[in-house]
Structure formats: C-alpha cells, structure tokens
Amino acid sequence: MPRPVVSQSAHAQLQLLQRRIFRALQAEAQALFGETPGAIKRYEHECAADFRAPIRVSTKEALVGAIRQADVSFVADYHTFGQAQRTALRLMRETVLPGERWMIGLELIPSQYQGALDDFQAGKLSLKAFHKLIRYEEEWGFPWSNYAGIFEWAREHGVRLIALNRPKQLLYRSL
C-alpha cells in the first residue's frame, strides 16, 4: 500500500482512503455478482445525465402539500439506487392520511399483470408465485428489496397499486 502524501490535509487523505475502500468493495461485489447487465449499465449512464441539471430545493412540507393538492403526482425513481424507493415510500407515508383513497402507479409491473398484482396485494399469491407470474427477473430485474416496502405499506394501508409499464413486446417492438 502506498504511503500517504504528507502534504495532503487529513481531509484529503480521508477522501482518498474512502475512494480506495469503495473501489475495493465495488470490485468484491462485481466478483460475487458478476458483470452488470448491459441494459442496466445503459440505464445508469442515461440517469447520470439527469444529475447534472440544476436542482431546485424544496422543503418536505412544501412537497407533501403540493402532492396533496394535485390530482396526479409523479415521483422519479432511479431504479439502481435503493434510496430513491425509500424516499418515495417516505413521501407516501407522509402524504396519505388514514381513511383516504389513494392509488399508486408502478412502472416496475407491466400492465398485463394487473390481475396478478391485485392478487398478490390481496394475499392470494406468495411472493415467489407473484414474481414467477410477472416474470420479475426477466421484466424488471432490479433488487426486489428496494421495492418491497412500498408493496407492504400499500397493503397495510389499503392503497391500490396500479401496473403502469407497457408490455415488453410493445416497448421493444422497434428493436
């Protein structure tokens, strides 16, 4: 291991160490899980461009208020970042009040599987059967653990989930 440069500040040395640890963990994860599929790499590349745009800061209260006033709200979801789904779930918890009737649309489920989604949310299907029916790994493939909380919360609070994605055969027809 190379010696730290003495002229660097302690903060700069800490950042360098953090980068080395991150690269080592990243290499270990890649060795365990294999190469990231090309489709996910392309998605990550496309999403990276979104982070270069100017960001407007809002308070959580203002955001929740705006959602409550709107008929339809869209929450962006960077599928590879679990924090995106946790943030969406926090917004749902803060926005939906007991006794209100809400619906949440999900891009991760193609529309032809609405019946399976309804059955899963009603407890008529196990998670394994649901994933098999909707072809979760083939159709979506992002970590289920990122989304599980949304499904559980919606079930507990009587919030209907709506399958919004286009069937894959329509999505990739021109390819």
Instruction: For residue 48, count other CB atoms closer than 10 A to its CB.
Output: 10
Asked whether the predicted pLDDT for residue 172 surpasses 70, the reply is no
pLDDT grade, residue 175 (50/70/90)?
A: very low
E strand segments, 43-170: 103-110, 160-165
d(CA 77, CA 164): 14
The per-residue pLDDT for 109 is 92
Cα–Cα distance for residue pair 80/107, rounded to 1 Å: 14
H-only helix segments in the chain: 10-33, 38-50, 60-69, 82-95, 114-121, 127-134, 136-139, 144-156, 168-171
Range with lowest mean pLDDT among 20-24, 115-119, 131-135: 20-24
Q: Answer yes or no: pTM beyond 0.85.
A: no
> What tens digit of pLDDT does each residue of 74-131 get?
887 777 788 889 999 999 999 999 889 999 999 899 999 999 999 999 999 999 999 9
Residues 1 and 37: their CA atoms lie apart, in Å, by 32
- Angle at which helix 114-121 crosses helix 127-134, to 10 degrees, equals 170
| For residues 130-144, average pLDDT | 91
Length, in residues, of the chain:
175
The structure tokens listed for 95 are 């926005």
Determine how many CB atoms are found less than 10 A away from the CB of residue 148.
Answer: 13
